[in-house]
Chains A and B, each alone.
Chain A
Amino acid sequence: MPETLSYTESELVALLKQRTQAAFSYLYDNYSGALYSVVLSILQDKELANDVLQEVFVKVWRQIDQYDPGKGRLFTWLVNISRNASIDTLRSKSYNAQKQIRELTETVYTAAGSINTETDKIGLRKIVNLLKEEHKILIELAYFQGYTQDEISKLLNIPLGTVKTRLRSALIQLKDFLKK
């Protein structure tokens, strides 16, 4: 058995607040794989993903005092930081929204599947790909592309109310798949 210790989330948070290198090391070793998959599933580019992952860990280190356990688990908090950083990068780079949509619609609607089959298996994408088309596209746009429901409504030319209800259904479906 490895000599690695296993901390509960609250123990880890307490450790991290002490800002020891050991604490950082534990965090990286136990969470980088998960967080990297989140970043990669959004950016789909390893170079960019590497940069963003570093950015994420620095951010986490700085902002650990802001983590509120009453609002959710540490893991969720880390994933959301990772997701937000990835989306910021996605939106600020030369990727433009139109290009994304074209690629995305190709991915979703062509029988051939996505351009990069590898990315299909990363993080949540593996599960999302099991959803039916109209749900899949919403989660792609909302989760992986960072579009607001309002923006999605305009992009797909669907009423905002429909976007809201459909997204909720999509997420319920997603949850059902996760449980299996």
Chain B
Amino acid sequence: MDIKEYIQSGIIEQYVLGLADPDEVAELQLLRNEYPELHEAISDFEQIFEETIRANQVQPPVFIKSAVEKQLFGDDHSGAIVIENAFAAEPDKKSTSGLWKYLAAACIILLVASTALNFYFYSGYKKSQDQYETLLAERNTLQANNASYQQDLKMFQDSVMKRVEMKGMPGKEQNVATVLWNQNSKDVYIYARSMQEVPTGKQYQLWAIVDGKPVNAGLITDCVGLCKMNRIDHAEAFAITLENAGGSPTPTLTEMYVFGKI
């Protein structure tokens, strides 16, 4: 703060003449305590101001003095001293502090209301956030599945694949499955198109019939679309049996569900 500049700015004159606005007044009051030169400059101007006014004063009519004395002290000098209620002179203060109290109360109410709203909005937000996250997860899964299906479709169309349709056994005609057998790589894939739901503790097992003998081709799991099974070099047929979970070294022939000849 360049106090010299401030002192010369005209603000002092403005203040003494009562022409400064409340902000300017407040600033000056603060600064005068900090800068003694400012305090002095203000006093100096006030002196000059007084001298000037006094130099050009005008005497009022004589009757005014007694008129005021009458008002303040009563008719005779021994009369009641009219001390106007000193507190009445403070309406400004009261109304100002009343205003501040009102403002303070209003602020507090607003703050409380705002805080309540915050809690309300946050819980709403949290809920939306959770729902969004769930949706995202579902979407990701669906995307992954879709990619899987796309691949499977390609495989079905791939000419290198030998397709073996497996029909349901008597009594289990509704079961249908398809084997895709890559003739180059000898990878085997199973597509369980319509297989009965597996009871708990049980599992479907794929068999390749090689030279009349059943060879384990893998357990059918909960895979999406095509399941990759064991590699089989030669086979005359494929079959699926229902075994205990974990599979069996030899097929339970009574539990054969589907069978497909190459």
Contacts and interface: CB of A to CB of B under 8 A. Distances in A.
Interface string B4-21: 000011110111111101
Contacts of A84: 18
B19 A50 contact: no
A36 B58 contact: yes
Contacts of B89: 62-63, 65-66
Given A24-B72, A62-B86, A19 B81 contact: yes
Contact of B50 (A70, A73, A168): A73
A150 B55 CA distance: 32
A149 B23 CA distance: 14
Interface in A43-89: 49-50, 53-54, 57-58, 61-63, 65-66, 70-73, 75-76, 79-80, 83-84
A168 B59 contact: no
B101 to A, nearest CB: 20
Interface stretch (A92-100, A105-113, A119-127): A119-127
Contacts of A83: 18
Nearest to A55: B68
A40 interface: yes
Given A24-B69, A71-B29, A83-B18, A38 B88 contact: no
A179 B42 CA distance: 14
Interface in A149-166: 149
B57 A76 contact: no
Contact of B49 (A65, A76, A126): A76
Given A24-B69, A61-B72, A175-B48, A142 B64 contact: no
Interface in B135-171: none
A148 B24 CA distance: 14
B84 interface: yes
A14 interface: no
B21 A34 contact: no
Interface residues of B, number: 46
A53 B10 CA distance: 29
Contacts of B9: 168, 172
A2 interface: no
B67 A54 contact: yes
A53 B59 CA distance: 11
Contacts of A25: 65, 69
- Identify the interface centre among B8, B45, B88: most chain A CB within 10 Å of its CB: B45
Contacts of B56: 37, 121-126
A21 B73 contact: yes
Nearest to B59: A33
A33 B58 contact: yes
6 contacts: A24-B69, A32-B59, A57-B68, A57-B72, A76-B46, A123-B56
Interface of A: 19, 21, 24-25, 28, 32-34, 36-38, 40, 49-50, 53-54, 57-58, 61-63, 65-66, 70-73, 75-76, 79-80, 83-84, 121-127, 142-143, 148-149, 167-172, 174-175, 178-179
Given A32-B60, A143-B17, A168-B10, 9 more contacts: A19-B81, A36-B58, A62-B84, A63-B89, A76-B50, A80-B18, A149-B21, A167-B14, A167-B19
Interface of B: 8-11, 13-19, 21, 29, 42-43, 45-50, 52-54, 56-61, 64-65, 67-69, 71-73, 77, 81, 83-84, 86, 88-90
